[in-house]
Amino acid sequence: MNWFEGKKLLVPIDFSENSHRALDTALGMGTDVCAVNVGVNLSVTSPESVWGALTEQSQREHIKEAFWKNFADERYRGIDFRVSFGDPGYEIASLAEEIGADVIVMPSHGRTGIKRILLGSVAERVLRLAHCPVLVLRH
């Protein structure tokens, strides 16, 4: 018996090969999969925002288009894909609670040492904030 069968799984996607593998792993484990991309709100950090070229809605549409382009295969059709903006760890944990996720399945990018200290660890933050179990995949 598969413990994950019938569970709602949340998979954070950053379009890396590791996140692609995490999504494939989740699809093999459960039937109800939600994927999320947490973007940086460019309206604050981008010079284009001065001219109004990038709105949160246009960023959201661009990210959704990129997702469905990267995951065009038939097996991804049933995925509920969402886009959020803000701190990735917080947004992932919040969405998991909002949708009633049973498990968060996410990749580890394997940063160690100074890179981990400087860049922080999204997986570690999600582990601390999530209301549900977190399965961190090392590839």
In the prediction, which pLDDT does 106 show? 92
> If DSSP codes are grouped into helix, strand and coil, which group holds residue 135?
strand
pLDDT at 120 over 90: no
Domains of the chain: which residue ranges?
8-138
Query: Among the listed ranges 63-72, 79-88, 96-105, 106-115, which one has the minimum average pLDDT value?
Result: 106-115
Q: For residue 117, give the 3-state DSSP assignment.
A: helix
- Global pTM reads 0.84
How confident is residue 8, by pLDDT bands cut at 50, 70 and 90? very high
pLDDT of residue 47: 58
Mean pLDDT within 32-57: 72
CATH for 8-138 is 3.40.50.620
The pLDDT > 90 percentage for the chain reads: 61
In Å, how far are 6, 7, 26, 27, 33 from 2, measured between CA atoms?
9, 10, 12, 13, 15
Q: d(Cα 110, Cα 113) in Å, to the nearest integer?
A: 10
- For residues 107-132, average pLDDT: 75
Per-residue pLDDT for 56 more than 90? Answer: no
